[in-house]
Amino acid sequence: MSVVARGLTKRYGARVVLDACDLEAPEGSIVLIAGSNGSGKSTLLRCLAGLARCEGEVRMLGAPPGRARGGEVAYLPQSVELPCATTVREILDLFGADERDAPADWLPPATARIGGLSGGELQRVAILATLSPRPRVALLDEPTADLDGPARASLFAWLARLRDAGTTVLVTAPAPDRDELARAADRRVDLVGGGRCVQAVA
């Protein structure tokens, strides 16, 4: 298993956001994480990425969160912002991303300033920075946000290619895209009331 969580619990003060969640994601799979607003989807991904402390046992590629070998776990935050004064090329260079990994017509011009990009263009730059070079585990928090129809279709095809290459993808999506993503997913984790997780194999 690439990702294993046992009894993952996250509290903000007295509020329990994730309550003893169990989760397993095999190598080369897409796992859809679903739930209503505030159900803890983003918190779950942040815990797995090692960006939020949590209770319970979590293993990412056999190591604790944040301890996997450099570059093997990638994370795309929700509502991504990038420094306005940088260019597309500089952001890609920072992550060592190769624009040839992206679908055709995915990227705005490499010399474009980040501050001048539309929301969709910015999201596409961030997605490429996350998915290239190919990580072994990709944690994607609403990657379809701000993407138009053709870009969403390209992303779903890209995620399927990554899965076939052995990447484990854990992804959340807003309600309109959830059904489409669920069709491509191998597993589904529903975050239900009180922070509990229900996992199902598609």
Partner 1 sequence: MVAERYARLELRVATRSRALAVAILVAALGGIVVAALGAVTFRQLGLRAVTPSALALLDLLMLVPTLVAVVLGATSLGAPGDVPLRAMLRARGAAAGDLALAKVIASSAGAALVAAAAAAGAAAILSGSARAADLAPFAVIVAAALFACCALAATGVAVASLAGDRAQALPAAVAAWAVLAIGVDLALLALAPALRGGGAALLAAAALDPVEAARLAGLLALGADAPVLGATGTILSERLGAGPALAGLLALPLVWAAVMTWTAGRLLGRRDG
Three-state secondary-structure class, residue 73: strand
Minimum CB–partner distance for residue 138 and partner 1 (Å) = 10
When the beta carbons of 12 and 193 are compared against partner 1, the nearer one is: 12
Say how far apart CA 186 and CA 196 lie, in whole Å: 20
Nearer to partner 1, 117 or 191 (CB): 117
Element (H, E) at 20: strand 15-25
Distances 167 to 56, 127, 196 between C-alpha atoms, Å: 24, 15, 26
Q: Which helix (H) or strand (E) holds 79?
A: none
Taking the complex as a whole, how short is the minimal distance between the CB of residue 73 and partner 1, in angstroms?
A: 6
CB 161 within 8 A of CB 3: no
Task: Pick the closest to residue 158 from 183, 119, 179, 132 (CA basis).
Answer: 132
Residue whose CB is less far from partner 1, 83 or 174: 83
Q: Which is nearer to partner 1, 63 or 182 (CB)?
A: 63
Positions that interact with partner 1 (CB under 8 A):
46, 49-53, 66, 68-77, 79-86, 90-91, 93-96, 114, 126, 129-130, 135, 139
In angstroms, the CA 46 to CA 131 distance is 17
d(CA 155, CA 143): 9
* Closer CB to partner 1, 23 or 73, in the complex: 73
The least distance separating partner 1 from the CB of residue 103, rounded to whole angstroms, comes to 20
How many C-beta neighbours within 10 Å does residue 110 have? 14
Q: Which is nearer to partner 1, 70 or 149 (CB)?
A: 70
Shortest spacing between CB 134 and partner 1, in angstroms: 12
CB of 63 to partner 1, least distance (A): 10
Query: Closest separation between CB of residue 133 and partner 1, Å?
Result: 10
